[in-house]
Amino acid sequence: MRAITWRGVNEIGVEDVPDPTILDPGDIVLEVGLSVTCGSDLHLMGGYIPAMRAGDVLGHEFMGTVAEVGPAVTRHRVGDRVVVVSFIGCGQCWYCRQGLWSLCDNGNPNPGMTEALWGQSIGGCFGYSHALGGYAGSHARYIRVPHADHGAFTIPDGVSDERALFASDAAPTGWTGADQAGVQAGDVVAVWGAGGVGQMAARKAMLMGAERVVVVDRLDNRLEQVRTHIGAETLDYEQVDVLAELREMTGGRGPDVCIEAVGMEAHGTGVQHVYDQVKQQLRLQSDRPTAVREAIHACRKGGTVFTLGVFGGLVDKFPLGAVMNKALTLRGAQQHGQRYVPEILDLMDSGEVRTEHLATHVMSLEQGPEGYRMFKEKEDGCVRAVFKPAG
Amino acid sequence: MATDTLTYLAGAVVGRVRSLVDPTGSASATAGRTAAGWLAVTVLRDPGDVDLASLPAPLAEFGHRIEVRADPAPAGKGTELRARLRDRRPPGPAPARLAGADPEADLRSALRRAKQLLEVGAVLTVDPVPHGRRTATPGGALLEAWTRGAAGAGVR
Ligand SMILES: NC(=O)c1ccc[n+]([C@@H]2O[C@H](COP(=O)([O-])OP(=O)(O)OC[C@H]3O[C@@H](n4cnc5c(N)ncnc54)[C@H](O)[C@@H]3O)[C@@H](O)[C@H]2O)c1
Ligand SMILES: [Zn+2]
Ligand SMILES: [Zn+2]
């Protein structure tokens, strides 16, 4: 079958790879309907997560039709239209039972790598490097889905493929951020990053009763999407002083909850940015934490800062003094989708969550390299490049 | 380059990163291992379900080469399963341990598989993974070596 692969730093290919098969009784093989680029892929592309090998199939956000089921699968049949969570959870370990699915103890066959880096390993993810299990990704005609009774969800008839697709990763990631940050009715919530993840975090914060939700970015078309499709307010950090605006908007307090949805390649300005870029390129720090620093400064005393953006290792010039003295709660997570997808699909069905606008560019697998280039450069207003393996 | 060298190198790279966060991690050859030499995992099963007389295959294969203990974990977290080699040679240096190339790597991997068998009933199969052409790059070889050791690598 054809698949989009990682070939090297900033080198994306399209090539023939073997078809997947059922390997365990709990597996399904899915015929991929739609599979989409995620901001997380950019960190792989750029070589910031160095556990990729040439030939690895990319993609972890996808939906499709069940083509084959293993003998132990009870919730799915051949022909079902399903969306699959990007993280693989066994459903039986303590973390899965707590609803902390991306922390699954049994989902990553290479736990040594992340255990060595972080002290504990986390779960496995499709198409996301050998450090997270080495599973093949979804930018292909077919994909094998282990533990399918836990990770695959039947899509309601009224929900289109284009909408359901984002119940795989972007929406549950936003849900994880707003929910785990403990947004309360009446809160003011600020979100850094107006990509798919930031938009979905903003939407969930609104649904949780936040009084005001403000999204920070610099890309006009994305901020426009936030205002029209999500219904949140926006700040363009190249036009205004974000910290001053947020302080003024909150009567001098600062937002109750600050959600960072930018990640390790944050864009920045001035001396701080040059410093971070040089250090990152010399591998003296693995991540550029520009937006996290700003979120920590903006947050009200006793508030919560949540990092949804992906970071791999070490950061520099971290404002720990502000965290400690302002009594902040600092949290982060990879998404716990298995816990949120049923609610998201219901809300998609009732029209309260709409995501089609994120799919700005729909392409064939053969256009993989072009799609990734456009997504990376945010060319032509690209918010997400969506691949349709059937052409 | 021989696989052993590659594996060692891969571990050394992580070892360096870790030493930045955890200065004790590479301070001495024995750092990172308890004096008693137990390796441990917590299994979400009642202590009554963890029968030391009929251990899961990955641990049973060690026969008399290992000692095994099971204790209740607090707060409903299940059972703490510990194993150690009877013949405890000096543990490998930190980079080897992080690359899964130390004397305890097989036991570490066996403990993890035993946990999965007790919790899920089977060990997840991963290979064969569909992939495209593997071109030879130094980074790729390093990563391949590291991946090979990764099931037995770690800090536990
Ligand atoms: N936690 C999870 O499970 C999970 C899941 C998916 C994605 N992610 C991560 O979330 C992050 C966002 O993902 P995405 O798909 O929306 O990515 P994206 O690249 O589409 O969007 C990132 C946005 O951040 C903006 N940005 C860059 N620097 C900024 C700054 N200093 N201040 C404010 N905005 C800034 C960019 O302009 C862009 O619009 C990535 O790091 C991704 O890896 C995490
Ligand atoms: Zn993602
Ligand atoms: Zn689990």
Split at pLDDT 50, 70, 90, the class of A246 is: very high
Pairing verdict, β A304-307 and A257-260: parallel
pLDDT at A266: 82
| A45 alpha carbon – ligand 1 mean position (Å) | 14
Q: Confirm or reject contact between A174 and chain B (CB < 8 A).
A: no
CA end-to-end span of chain A? 13
CB < 8 Å from A in window 34-63 of B: 41-42, 44
Q: What is the CATH number of domain A2-169+335-388?
A: 3.90.180.10
Residue whose Cα lies nearest atom 19 of ligand 1: it is A39
CA distances from B136 to A5, A7, A116, B141, B142 (A): 15, 11, 25, 7, 10
| Cα A336 to Cα A248: distance, rounded to the nearest angstrom | 34
The pLDDT of residue B17 is 62
**Stronger pLDDT, B120 or B135, i.e. the higher one:** B120
Nearest to A272 by CA among A319, A224, A333: A319
Q: What's domain A174-332's superfamily in CATH? A: NAD(P)-binding Rossmann-like Domain (3.40.50.720)
d(CA A199, CA A227): 10
Closest A-chain CA to B117:
A106
Taking the CA of residue A385 as centre, how many other CA atoms within 13 Å lie in the half-sphere pointing to its CB? 27
Q: What is the mean pLDDT of residues A255-261?
A: 98
pTM of the model: 0.94
Measured CA to CA, the distance from residue A218 to residue A53 in angstroms comes to 33
- Condensed to tens digits (0 to 9), the pLDDT of residues A155-172 reads 999 999 999 999 999 999
Inter-chain CB proximity A116 and B155 less than 8 Å:
yes
Alpha-carbon gap, residue A64 to A56, rounded angstroms: 21
What integer best gives the mean pLDDT of chain A?
Answer: 96
Sign of the CA dihedral with A255 first, then A344, A308, and A181 last:
positive
**Dist. CA B76–CA B24, nearest whole Å:** 32
Position A153: which residue type? F
Residues 275-334 (A) with a CB less than 8 A from some CB of B: 313-314
Cβ contact B131–A17 (<8 Å): yes
A39-48, A54-63, A373-382: which range is least confident on average? A39-48
Structure tokens at A107: 């989902």
CA of B146 to the centre of ligand 2 (A): 25
> Residue A77 corresponds to which tokens in the numbers above?
């049949």
**Which candidate, A336, A364, A355, places its Cα nearest to that of A165?**
A355
Tell me the percentage of chain A whose pLDDT exceeds 90.
88
Q: Which ligand is nearest to the CA of A35?
A: 2
pLDDT digits (tens, 9 = 90+) for A326-364: 999 999 999 999 999 999 999 999 999 999 999 999 999
Burial of residue A77 (CB within 10 Å: 0-12, 13-18, 19+) is exposed
Task: List CB-based neighbours of ion ligand 3 within 5 Å.
Answer: A 89-90, 93, 96, 104, 106
> Per residue in B14-56, pLDDT tens?
666 666 655 554 445 555 677 888 999 999 999 999 999 999 9
Q: Exposed, middle or buried: residue A381 (CB in 10 Å: 0-12, 13-18, 19+)?
A: middle
Task: State if residue A36 touches ligand 1 by the CB under 6 angstroms criterion.
Answer: no
Mutate which of B18, B42, B113, B124 to test chain A, going by most A C-beta atoms within 10 A? Answer: B124
ipTM of the complex: 0.93
CA angle B6, B12, B18 (to 5 degrees): 145
Q: Which residues of B touch A91 (CB under 8 A)?
A: 120
The per-residue pLDDT of chain B, averaged, comes to 84
For a ligand 1 pocket test, name from A35, A36, A37, A40 the mutation site with the most ligand atoms within 8 angstroms of its C-beta: A40
What token pair was written down for A91? 């459903």
How do the domains of chain A map onto residue ranges? Answer: 2-169+335-388, 174-332
Please give the residue that has the higher pLDDT: either A43 or B20. Answer: A43
Condensed to tens digits (0 to 9), the pLDDT of residues A46-81 reads 888 889 999 999 999 999 999 999 999 999 999 999
Q: Is the CB of B9 inside 8 Å of chain A's CB atoms? A: no
Q: Is the pLDDT of residue A379 over 80?
A: yes
What SS3 class is residue B144? helix
Residue A310 pLDDT greater than 80, yes or no: yes
pLDDT band, residue A116 (cuts 50/70/90) = confident
Kindly state the tokens that stand for A234.
């926006």
Contacts of B152 in chain A (CB under 8 A): 112
Q: How confident is the model at residue A117 (pLDDT cuts 50, 70, 90)?
A: confident
| C-alpha radius of gyration, chain A, whole number | 20
Alpha carbons B95 and A112: distance in angstroms, whole number: 12
Residue B66 bridge partners (DSSP): B85
B124 to chain A, any CB pair closer than 8 A? The answer is yes
CB contact under 8 A, B116 and A106: yes
**Quick one: which H or E segment has residue B119?**
helix B105-120
Band of pLDDT at residue B100, cut at 50, 70 and 90: confident
Give yes or no for residue A296 CB within 6 A of ligand 1: no
In this structure, of B21-35, B118-132, B135-149, the range with the lowest mean pLDDT score is B21-35
Q: Which of A376, A382, A364 is nearest to A34 (CA)?
A: A364
Give me ligand 1 centre to Cα A260, in Å.
8
Of A379, A346, A32, A351, whose CA–CA distance to B130 is shortest? A32
CB contact under 8 A, A54 and B18: no
Mutation pick from A44, A49, A53, A286 vs chain B, by most beta carbons of B within 10 Å, is A53
Strand partners of residue A304? A257, A329
DSSP for A222-263, please give it: HHHHIIIII--EEEETTTS-HHHHHHHHTTTS--SEEEE---
If one residue of A44, A101, A132, A197 were mutated to test the ligand 1 pocket, choosing by the most ligand atoms within 8 A of its CB, it would be A197
